[in-house]
Structure 1
């Protein structure tokens, strides 16, 4: 039997996630889409304000080192687990 941590549930509710990476949804003004995951990539729409945070900039540097600037998905891909990404975004929303 599994359990969910409240912060992850809240983070998932606050992030707009498409259910399928092939689903193309409109990204609202002031947000951008990223794909997150180590094996299966899930799409998240996050606020542009995250770009100014050093922790998020570190993730972007890792993405550049891992994939370069040309990824087959044609979008920004973050090379970390979905859980780690949700933890980070939850912290960024609180700050």
Structure 2
């Protein structure tokens, strides 16, 4: 160790090290693509799953209804990632319905429940 301290040029000119810099060309595994946002979906901590959702969904009536449910459950003061308090299977049905352009306009209709929708 003393030899290294006396002659630091041996360390600084070494070809056996690489600078510890983040590689900006590789996306982080937890990064979210542009135009998307993360959503945690589930009724409790044990069944919560993370989804990466296209921001265009924010204008869809089914997703707006999910946002209303989130607001009722957590309020507007919720911090961090958006949480939606529905079963994961229900959320996946919403995504499939939107993807295939099905005409369902409310969650109850999508689930086949006999509740009249707005």
- Structure 1 length normalisation: TM-score? 0.69
- 1:89 corresponding residue in structure 2: 95
Q: Which residue of 49, 54, 58 maps to 1:47? A: 54
CA distance in 1, matches of 2:84, 2:40: 6
CA distance in 2, matches of 1:70, 1:42: 21
CA RMSD of aligned residues (A): 1.4
Structure 2, unaligned runs of 5 or more: 1-28, 102-118
Q: Which residue of 50, 59, 64 maps to 1:57? A: 64
CA distance in 1, matches of 2:56, 2:70: 18
- 1:33 corresponding residue in structure 2: 38
Question: Deviation string for 1:63-91 (max 9, x for gaps)?
Answer: 0010012336x210000000000000011
CA distance in 2, matches of 1:75, 1:69: 12
| 1:80 maps to 2:83 | no
CA distance in 2, matches of 1:43, 1:71: 17
Structure with the larger strand share: 1
SS at match of 1:90: helix
Aligned residue-pair number: 71
Note the C-alpha offset of 1:49.
1.0
